[in-house]
Amino acid sequence: NGTSRDRLRIAIQKSGRLAEPARALLSACGLSWRESRDKLFCYGESLPVDLLLVRDDDIPGLIADGVCDFGVVGRNELNEQAGARQSIGLPAAYQELRALGFGGCRLMLAVPEAWQWSGPEQLQGTRIATSYPAILAQWLQEQGVQASVVELSGSVEIAPKLGTADLICDLVSSGATLAANQLKPVQTLLESEAVLAGPVRRFEDQRAQLAAMLLRRMDGVLKLKD
Ligand code: ATP
Ligand code: ZN
């Protein structure tokens, strides 16, 4: 997408776990917005940096298509969509620029509580339910294990009880959801947190200076946090 622009557009989650911390981070970078009535687009006031409020799942694609210049999204979502592109032979379209220190969670395998976990080789021939089929398939391949990946868009934890899968691969933070479904986490596939994602291409217009300034300010804010 070769469209030239003189304002930056950052996609963040409209509502959900990453929505407030993403806004707080960008505010701390000195950005402010005039809220539009529908609040899907926030026009930047202090700097020419606008916000697009979307579902987190849409953020990698918006960057790939050049609709947005940056996005705040979970590494889990970014890596999943990167893996999906790779598996159909598309070139990389986005990259992780900064880890942001919030939205921490793990993508883990969880098995029924009665299982005795002995390691990845135990997964041979099993059915694993997940919303992260690309990450899971790649990990299984690295382990040299053949298992079938059952893709579900939600309520993954219920799959073993329903008999549609033997175990699951899902995001875990406290583990309370797993415990409520008589599952236990046994293996981490990915340590995730919110990240700043950007395109692999360089900006060739005024966005280059804006992007450099934003990253500089963000580095200052992130350094203060830890
Ligand atoms: P949307 O409506 O934007 O699609 P969603 O339901 O997919 O929302 P959230 O549940 O708000 O998204 O999660 C957003 C991100 O928060 C996840 O992709 C993940 O990176 C992070 N996260 C942190 N802890 C958890 C957790 N326990 N469960 C799920 N996601 C978590
Ligand atoms: Zn989502």
Q: Are residues 12 and 81 in the same domain?
A: yes
User: Would residue 1 count as lying in a domain?
Assistant: no
DSSP labels, 166-182: SEEEEEESSSHHHHHTT
**For residue 36, what pLDDT is reported?**
72
Q: Say how many Å lie between the CA of residue 201 and the centre of ligand 2.
A: 25
Atom of ligand 1 nearest to the CA of 55: 3
* Ligand 1 within 6 A of CB of 157: no
- Candidates 127, 120, 133; CA nearest to 147 is 127
* Ligand 1 within 6 A of CB of 18: yes
* Ligand 1 within 6 A of CB of 74: yes
Residue 225: which residues within 8 A CB-CB, separation 6 or more? 101
Q: Report the residue among 77, 171, 174 best suited for mutation to probe ligand 1: largest number of ligand atoms under 8 A from its CB.
A: 171
Q: Are residues 135 and 221 in the same domain?
A: no
Q: Are residues 168 and 207 in the same domain?
A: no
Q: Are residues 128 and 147 in the same domain?
A: yes
SS3 at position 88? coil
- Report the chain's C-alpha Rg in angstroms: 19
Q: Are residues 219 and 183 in the same domain?
A: no
The answer to whether residues 71 and 14 touch, using CB atoms and an 8 Å cutoff, is: no
Neighbours of ion ligand 2 (CB under 5 A): 56-57
* Ligand 1 within 6 A of CB of 17: yes
Protein residue closest via CA to atom 4 of ligand 1: 55
Count up the domains in the chain and report the number: 2
**For residue 225, what pLDDT is reported?**
80
pLDDT tens by residue, the chain, 226 residues: 557 889 999 999 999 999 999 999 999 999 999 877 678 999 999 999 999 999 999 999 999 999 999 999 999 999 999 999 999 999 999 999 999 999 999 999 999 999 999 999 999 999 999 999 999 999 999 999 999 999 999 999 999 999 999 999 999 999 999 999 999 999 999 999 999 999 999 999 999 999 999 999 999 999 988 7
Q: Are residues 113 and 142 in the same domain?
A: yes
The answer to whether residues 10 and 27 touch, using CB atoms and an 8 Å cutoff, is: no
Q: Are residues 76 and 20 in the same domain?
A: yes
Protein residue closest via CA to atom 23 of ligand 1: 103
Whole domain around residue 170: which residue ranges?
Answer: 105-191
Computed from CA positions of residues 82, 154, 191, 116, in that sequence, does the dihedral angle turn out positive or negative?
negative
**For residue 94, what pLDDT is reported?**
97
Protein residue closest via CA to atom 29 of ligand 1: 171
User: Would residue 152 count as lying in a domain?
Assistant: yes
**For residue 2, what pLDDT is reported?**
55
ipTM: 0.98
* Ligand 1 within 6 A of CB of 103: yes
Please name the residue that has the structure tokens 């990240």.
195
User: Would residue 2 count as lying in a domain?
Assistant: no
**For residue 35, what pLDDT is reported?**
79
Q: Are residues 32 and 86 in the same domain?
A: yes
* Ligand 1 within 6 A of CB of 16: yes
Ligand closest in space to the Cα of 18: 1
Looking at residue 159, which CATH number applies to its domain? 3.40.190.10
The answer to whether residues 222 and 98 touch, using CB atoms and an 8 Å cutoff, is: yes
Protein residue closest via CA to atom 7 of ligand 1: 56
Strands, DSSP E only, in the chain?
Answer: 8-13, 33-35, 41-44, 49-54, 70-74, 94-99, 105-112, 127-130, 148-151, 167-172, 183-192, 194-199
Q: Are residues 32 and 93 in the same domain?
A: yes
Q: Are residues 126 and 148 in the same domain?
A: yes
Q: Are residues 110 and 86 in the same domain?
A: no
